[in-house]
Structure 1
Amino acid sequence: MGANTSSKSPPFDENEDVTFDHFEILRAIGKGSFGKVCVVQKNDTKKMYAMKYMNKQKCVERNEVRNVFKELQIMQGLEHPFLVNLWYSFQDEEDMFMVVDLLLGGDLRYHLQQNVRFQEGTVKLFICELVLALDYLQSRHIIHRDIKPDNILLDEHGHVHITDFNIATMLTKEIQVTTIAGTKPYMAPEMFNSTKPTGYSFAVDWWSLGITAYELLRTRRPYHIRSNTSTNEIAHVFKTATVMYPAAWSTDMVSLIKKKGRLNCDPTFELEEMILESKPLHKKKKRLAKKEKDTSKSNSSQACHLQKHLEMLQRDFIVFNREKVRHHHNDIQTITLAKSRGAYKEDNQNNNL
């Protein structure tokens, strides 16, 4: 897979829409329930990115289209050094694509599984960077709702970046957030109210950060909660459990938690893409061309219903290009600066008169 390219594309025009053809596919590095991630290189700039691609039909069948659109809507409005930032989004007949920052240091879950023991100073640095990222999200009215080691990536310099905004939500004055969403062992107590749904706010992300920091230091979480633990059991754990803090930890670290190179990924992703995947990404162009030539559409009601949803997805998908946004922003700044200089010059001339 590593030696294949998506296509031999012509020279890139900055006014042209970015598509799959503008990238060289290098290798697969991750897999989700209906999406996969690969390393790509943009043909014109030679910059490296991570490309997440999600099968449209699977998204429709699993009722996930709304979440994908919500994630795109949120990510196109964000840019921060400790987030995984969105650069481009586009689609083709089969898939939706999100091209984001490439972080080669692996996620923190990977390092925990490799029995890495993080020093307290390192965890303090992680916490500081994550606090800046969460503070930024809060300023943009965003609750991430899934802060955990799996969703924190390291770059080649050892800095952390928050990824995966799939279940993030925007907090507004009009609508109270009550939906139970997240990964149970990292979810805050207020999300498990068994009597009636109560609204929660940004504090749930700070709780998740505290659980994550504890786990990084001790390689296990402070509460014995699993993904299959019932809501009532979780409520009981929070009422009865005593959190243990090792004597070796500094008082500052305990106080804080109480308030709230090489490619580091599993190589089986690449092997699976090459050997087991029925629709490998690097053969997409040939596959789509053949599909367009050969396909005879089914007239069944189920097929028509699916096709209708796929057409709606095609129509409503959010196309994004951060380079264009930056160019537009720079153009506006240049025009504004020129106007202000002109006004200043005219004012000086009037003063001289």
Structure 2
Amino acid sequence: VTFDHFEILRAIGKGSFGKVCVVQKTDTKKMYAMKYMNKQKCVERNEVRNVLKELQIMQGLEHPFLVNLWYSFQDEEDMFMVVDLLLGGDLRYHLQQNVRFQEGAVKLFICELGLALDYLQSRHIIHRSARLQSQACCLSGHVHITDFNIATTLTKDSPVTTIAGTKPYMAPEMFSSTKPTSYSFAVDWWSLGVTAYELLRSRRPFPVRSSAAPGDIARLLRTAAVPFPAAWAPGMVALLRKLLKLNPQKRFSQLKDIQSFPYLSDVNWDAVLQKRITPEFIPMKGRLNCDPAFELEEMILESKPLHKKKKRLAKKEKDTSRSNSSQASHLQKHLEMLQRDFIVFNREKARPHHDTIQETVTESGGPHREDNQNSSL
């Protein structure tokens, strides 16, 4: 599978060195999101290792509440990742559009994201980026974890100590004021508590700024009291308190913790996993649930727009002139290493008889079908 197998429809998002487009595979007519990352920018910003690690992690994952990788490939300019398309928009976007999430919607989000975190935990993966921008909805309203750019694998032999993530969503144990402290899966459950609180209140539980120093954040988290509005359901407040425990040993940090909690005792977990629960929040259909400026930027401001790639690469092949400077030679060496180390992936070839999302069969129900939903947890 190559770039030529897809039709580019429109741009829907961007990162520091990559962008995301809606694409259609020309033979199957299936729609996907295509993330493309400029190789030279990745090398210059020392991001190659993160990109390759993200690819390696995503190849081994498939779950109903993750954005799943379908294809990865490269050309001279870019690396491409083709993933599930979620047209419902990320949760940050909806908060910015003044959506007010009700308790029932957030309760289902907690369950769906809890199942996703449990799956990642079973694969020894810490996500470390569980923020609202990394949680996106399909058009049916089910939430999915996206963005594995800073995810890491935890093993007994290699403890994780790196400070990585978006500071307002990072757990206290990641901000050691003296020396690096190892942390575990509990950091993702803390982030779940922060995002659930923010969805309910449109503000975060702690006034942590992204520019704050780690030591200052550690002191703030130790001393700040989280305000819970009196109108909130006592069960939801109690659950959030468990997710926002400063001590990771006392924090809810496994699926069984929330499954056994009284507030969630009425949840049919098989139905949640099979997406048979109708979400209370359903994104508006017939509109683009993202910033429309991305499309304008790609067409007008981007120096190497994707829709002109074929002409550009054809012209580049004819141009045999090369720079002999040592800087260009150094860059070329790194680009050649990236070309060699890049991981090509095709999920259809890896598992040819599999549907778009894995069918999950449990004792109490059959495989997931979107049109077989009921309205209660």
TM bracket (short chain): 0.7 to 0.9
Residue 254 of structure 1 pairs with residue 229 of structure 2: no
Q: What CA deviation, in whole Å up to 9, does each residue of 1:49-85 have, x standing for no partner? A: 0000000000000000000000000000000000000
Q: Name 1:292's counterpart in structure 2.
A: 317
Q: Tell me, yes or no, if structure 1 residue 221 matches structure 2 residue 198.
A: no
Structure 2 SS opposite 1:26: strand
Matched, 1:273 2:292: no
Which residue is 2:250 aligned to? none
Q: How does 1:91-110 map to 2 (within 5 A)?
A: 91-110=74-93
**Is 1:326 aligned to residue 357 of structure 2?**
no
Residue 58 of structure 1 is matched in structure 2 by 41
Q: Secondary structure at the match of 2:144?
A: strand
Partner of 1:82: 65
- Of structures 1 and 2, the larger Rg is shown by 1
Q: Secondary structure at the match of 1:220?
A: coil
Distance in 1, matches of 2:202 and 2:71, equals 36
Q: Indicate the SS of the match to 1:327.
A: coil
**How do residues 1-353 of structure 1 correspond to structure 2 at under 5 angstroms?**
18-260=1-243, 261=285, 262-327=287-352
Task: State the distance in 2 between where 1:328 and 1:222 align.
Answer: 45
Decide which structure has greater helix share. Answer: 1
How far apart, in 2, do the equivalents of 1:89 and 1:232 lie? 39
Structure 2 contact 348–354 (Cα < 8 Å) conserved:
no
If the length of structure 1 is used for normalisation, what is the TM-score? Answer: 0.87
Distance 2:303 2:330 in 1: 24
Which shifted more, 63-72 or 249-258?
249-258
Is contact 2:89-2:138 (8 Å) kept? yes
Decide whether aligned partners of structure 1 residues 329 and 43 sit closer, same or farther in structure 2, where only a CA change above 3 A counts.
closer
The Cα shift of 1:263 comes to: 2.2
TM superposition score normalised by structure 2:
0.82
Q: Distance in 1 between matches of 2:187 and 2:28?
A: 40
Q: Does the C-alpha gap of structure 1 residues 180 and 158 become closer, same or farther in structure 2, counting only changes over 3 Å?
A: same
Q: Which amino acid aligns with 2:349?
A: K
Extract unaligned runs of 5+ from structure 1: 1-17, 331-353
Measured against aligned partners, the alpha-carbon deviations of 1:241-273 in whole angstroms (never above 9, x if no partner) come to 111101111111011111112320000000011
Q: Distance in 2 between matches of 1:82 and 1:60?
A: 31
Distance 1:83 1:125 in 2: 15
Distance 2:331 2:219 in 1: 44
1:130-160 Cα deviation digits (max 9, x unpaired): 0000000000000000101000000010000
Structure-1 separation of matches of 2:303 and 2:232: 50
Q: Hey, what's the Cα distance between the residues in 2 that align with 1:158 and 1:239? A: 35
Give the secondary-structure state (helix, strand or coil) at the position aligned to 2:227: coil
* CA shift in 2, pair 1:27/1:160, >3 Å: same
- Extract unaligned runs of 5+ from structure 2: 244-284, 356-377
Alpha-carbon distance between aligned partners in 2 of 1:181 and 1:135, rounded to the nearest angstrom: 20
List 4+ stretches of structure 1 deviating above 6 A. Answer: none
Q: Tell me, what secondary structure is at the counterpart of 1:29? A: strand
Q: CA deviation at 1:238?
A: 1.3
Q: CA deviation at 1:329?
A: 8.5
Contact 2:90 2:132 in 1 (8 A): yes
Equivalent residue pairs, number = 313
TM-aligned CA distance change 1:30 to 1:329, over 3 Å: closer
